[in-house]
Amino acid sequence: MPNARLEQLSKLGTSVWLDFIQRDLMSSGKLRELIDEDGVVGLTANPTIFEKAIVGSDLYDSTIEREVKAGKGEDEIFDAIAYEDIGAACDVLRPVYDKTDGRDGYVSIEVLPELANDTAKTIEAAKRYWNAVSRPNLFIKVPATEPGIPAISTLLGQGINVNITLIFSIERYREVMNAYLEGLETLSKSGKPIEKVASVASFFVSRVDTAVDKQLEAKIAAGGDDAAKAKALLGKAAIANARIAYEEFKKIFTGDRFNVLKAKGARVQRPLWASTSTKNPAYRDVVYVEELAGPDIVNTMPLATIEAFADHGVAERRIDKDVAGAHQVMKDLATLGIDMDEVTAKLEEEGVASFTASIVKLREALAKKKEMLLQAARK
């Protein structure tokens, strides 16, 4: 029996996806249970999630040993692990994909973040992942860096599903939506069907509050005329930023350009709220789920946030509530000298760096395991 709170969230048009992967999630039946009981209809993973899963357990030792015996290097070992886990998750979620006619049921795998500033290599890696996993309910995650934008339109133009990740700014989000439309237009001109191509735009939330609140807290500590204004804005930037992004989404996907593609069967590129666990314990633990709920939305959450919402979340359409107030928040931040363009540019840079660091740590851990296995084989 599905959880009533999560079921109501789904009825609003917000799809619940799980932001986590680990091998026993599929093998134990836990993912199937989350689908049946919590209404989970998708799964996302990133380099940090994989690094924690692989380094923090012995679930992958047999695969690592097999690949080491085959003479594979660290990146090839990681690819083998990722293909197996992502493929298994795709298979568990395939009935959801079929039942929803391709609206949900997707699993995401991310190209290596160190390629984020190389368009050609991003395209090459994405195509390799797409062909290796070979499931229609696969998303290839591509960071929304400046060099990532042309990679996104190219991949979509070849019929590859893309989850665009690490979006923080409204301007970058507009570029992402434009890349989606360009990709579908290219695919349509080639005479290929566009109705099965899917994409989501992963717009990050809580990290925005973390960054902006830090600046606001400095102004509060400094005292003076700005202190009270700063205090009133704590915890407001992320939700305001996302509400304005949703306003842009509605403009683009009710516009003439998209309507031409819609007539040929194109789907909207839904915004996916990412980083929706609450980082500040002073804030409600489900605030980014409650305040950003509404139609044509995906919210990917860690398990703890899904469980919290199942326990005490309130499902109401709030995503387009007081959009004028969201714009006012941005104006008020600007009057305090907080430059959102600078904030979001830095967050993008830090996001790529953080995921890259996770891959470096993973490689180091795999190298150690590989050496241990080779030493044991020599004895």
Q: What is the CATH number of the domain that holds 317?
A: 3.20.20.70
Q: Per residue in 54-72, is it b (16+ CB within 10 Å) or e — as a string?
A: bbeeebbeebbbebbeeeb
Please check whether residue 244 lies inside any domain of the structure.
no
Q: Which two tokens stand for residue 169?
A: 């700014």
Q: pLDDT tens per residue, the chain (379 residues)?
A: 689 999 999 999 999 999 999 999 999 999 999 999 999 999 999 989 999 998 888 899 899 999 998 999 999 999 999 999 999 999 999 999 999 999 999 999 999 999 999 999 999 999 999 999 999 999 999 999 999 999 999 999 999 999 999 999 999 999 999 999 999 999 999 999 999 999 999 999 999 999 999 999 999 999 988 999 999 999 999 999 999 999 999 999 999 999 999 999 999 999 999 999 999 999 999 999 999 999 999 999 999 999 999 999 999 999 999 999 999 999 999 999 999 999 999 999 999 999 999 999 999 988 888 888 778 777 6
- Residue found by looking up tokens 């799809």 in the block: 15
**120-123, long-range: CB within 8 Å, 24+ apart, which pairs?**
122/147, 122/148, 122/151, 123/151, 123/154, 123/155
pTM of structure: 0.96
Please check whether residue 230 lies inside any domain of the structure.
no
Please check whether residue 141 lies inside any domain of the structure.
yes
Please check whether residue 371 lies inside any domain of the structure.
yes
Q: Which two tokens stand for residue 64?
A: 């690592």
Query: What is the domain range of residue 269?
Result: 4-204+261-321+346-378
Please check whether residue 310 lies inside any domain of the structure.
yes
| Beta bridge partners of residue 299, listed in sequence order | 16, 273
| 141 carries an active-site annotation | yes
Q: Which of 52, 141, 192, 368 is catalytic?
A: 141
Please check whether residue 91 lies inside any domain of the structure.
yes
Please check whether residue 336 lies inside any domain of the structure.
no
What is the tally of structural domains in the chain?
Answer: 1
Please check whether residue 99 lies inside any domain of the structure.
yes
